[in-house]
Chain A
């Protein structure tokens, strides 16, 4: 069944759903499809419609209130069928085994499950995001020999738009009902407050509905998962799963830091290759007590000149770059990039920090009366050390590889607070931990203390690694689908 509440006037949810999956991004759709295969009866709820609308998107309004401005609160996510996969860039990497170790000196706990627990689903996940034919091994870079960095694994999805790709399959499935423009506004617990009894849904006309599935999965994305649980205070004042004040805390991003610019030596190193990616080795991460990172080395800066003086400026650059003396003089005044010079950019792990968090705004509510989101994004001393250490080590590696010389971004050296960007990788706000004192969900993604409530997506990540999150979201969603199928006796 495929229903749009905007087009219905007298709708009622049916009975007998095994699982209600709330949210139709990569996590929600993957969980629903996995359950569909097992024969479970599934209800998939999406708050938006089939296309982007202002009416739906405005629920993502929020405020960045931390010491670092966060620009992705509203723009980094999409609230319609297919979710944020609708503007996903398609980059696929995965956590390293070292990311599953307890990281020193981080105070927060790490994954309570293993690398293999997640990536046993990698082949299936690769087919889902259309990278099954691509090699996912470390690229062979014979010229790169370093004990501190190794070449990074990477694959590129077309990218897969989950809504477009899987719509027909879900619409045709006999055991799946998809309902659009269905805003999940609350969860009501049963009498002993240990299980969800009802999911409360509202449409944009103000009509409320309830549905009573056996299991509920919240998969709204890491920012909205936390906002939803904090706002769901019908039964607990602090919100659901928040008995230890952990919901919303430990928000993590991947820092987009430009470590610096490098000049090549005109060496043959760059002639055989374009840019490439590196990861710090496990040994270096342990030795230096730093986080993980995907380091991109992009050579071949080729500034474009425009206007009537363009030919003259091109000529001047050529002349300047051909001479050490002229180049040194020019670089006293400005940054001059010559052919082969490049930049070092990063997808850098942010250490889990309880003060970096999603909160509710006491002064702003959405149209259903639920508090809007406030995000306090901050960087700590561990992160600063990771940034500075990686900058220095990349610089050393470029020298030893005879590949160039790195000039570290001045802000990193002088203030330790570089101009931070982000990648719209929202993680950690309902972190996974074996104990409710350390996390919101257990190793099966079940909310501690509530028997039938589960969380899908990267909000369960206890650490962020140096990897794009989507492939792992899909693996974890397949795992959760399997788990629920077993609980239903349908595996």
Chain B
């Protein structure tokens, strides 16, 4: 605290400088962050992926296609035999 008080910069200048630095960081982050091209679904546990028929899967509550899973580096589980799915 003493050092700040002894700094040649005023407290106001320091606050403004910090704000500018934050804004610049956010701007850089926005510039380089990958754009949203696919829906963002949060983390999906591969062990919880379950087939729901017609080539679709339930993953973390999301209804996804096989392509969705593969695009996320996930392996779709085998669909069980049709008889076993009868309900």
Contacts and interface: CB of A to CB of B under 8 A. Distances in A.
Contact of A392 (B38, B40, B42, B56): B56
Given A324-B38, A327-B36, A399-B68, A406 B58 contact: no
Nearest to B41: A405
Nearest to A315: B26
Contact of A266 (B36, B43, B61, B87): B36
Contact of A326 (B33, B53, B62): B33
B54 interface: yes
Given A327-B40, A413-B61, A405 B33 contact: no
Interface string A390-415: 00100110110000111110100100
B42 A331 contact: yes
A398 B39 CA distance: 12
Nearest to A409: B61
B52 interface: yes
Nearest to B63: A395
Contacts of B87: 385
Contact of A396 (B34, B37, B39, B54): B54
Given A319-B29, A408-B63, A324 B34 contact: yes
B58 A408 contact: yes
A164 B44 CA distance: 56
Interface string A308-346: 000000010001011111111001100000100000000
B64 A324 contact: no
Contacts of A332: 42-43
Nearest to A392: B52
A263 interface: yes
A265 B39 CA distance: 6
Interface residues of A, number: 31
Contact of B61 (A328, A338, A385, A410): A410
Given A323-B30, A324-B38, A399 B64 contact: yes
Contacts of A413: 58, 61
| Residue of A332, A385, A396, A410 with highest tally of chain B CB at under 10 A | A396
B30 A322 contact: yes
Interface in B43-67: 43, 52-54, 56, 58, 60-65
A243 B40 CA distance: 59
A385 B86 CA distance: 13
A159 interface: no
Contact of A260 (B26, B53, B61): B61
A348 to B, nearest CB: 18
Nearest to B50: A413
B31 to A, nearest CB: 10
Interface residues of B, number: 27
B18 to A, nearest CB: 15
B35 interface: yes
A319 B58 CA distance: 28
Contacts of B36: 266, 321-324, 327, 338
A263 B36 CA distance: 11
Contacts of A324: 34-38, 40
Contacts of A260: 61
Contacts of B40: 263, 324, 327-328, 331
Given A331-B41, A399-B56, A407 B33 contact: no
B43 A396 contact: no
Nearest to B67: A399
A385 B87 CA distance: 9
26 contacts: A260-B61, A263-B39, A265-B38, A265-B39, A266-B36, A319-B29, A322-B35, A323-B33, A325-B34, A326-B29, A328-B43, A331-B40, A338-B36, A385-B87, A392-B52, A392-B58, A395-B56, A395-B62, A396-B54, A396-B56, A398-B63, A399-B63, A406-B62, A407-B61, A408-B61, A413-B58
Task: State the 10 A-B residue pairs at the shortest beta-carbon distance, nearest first.
Answer: A395-B63, A327-B40, A323-B33, A331-B42, A263-B39, A405-B39, A407-B61, A324-B40, A407-B62, A396-B56
Interface of B: 26, 29-30, 33-43, 52-54, 56, 58, 60-65, 68, 87
Given A323-B33, A324-B40, 6 more contacts: A315-B26, A319-B29, A326-B33, A327-B36, A399-B65, A407-B62
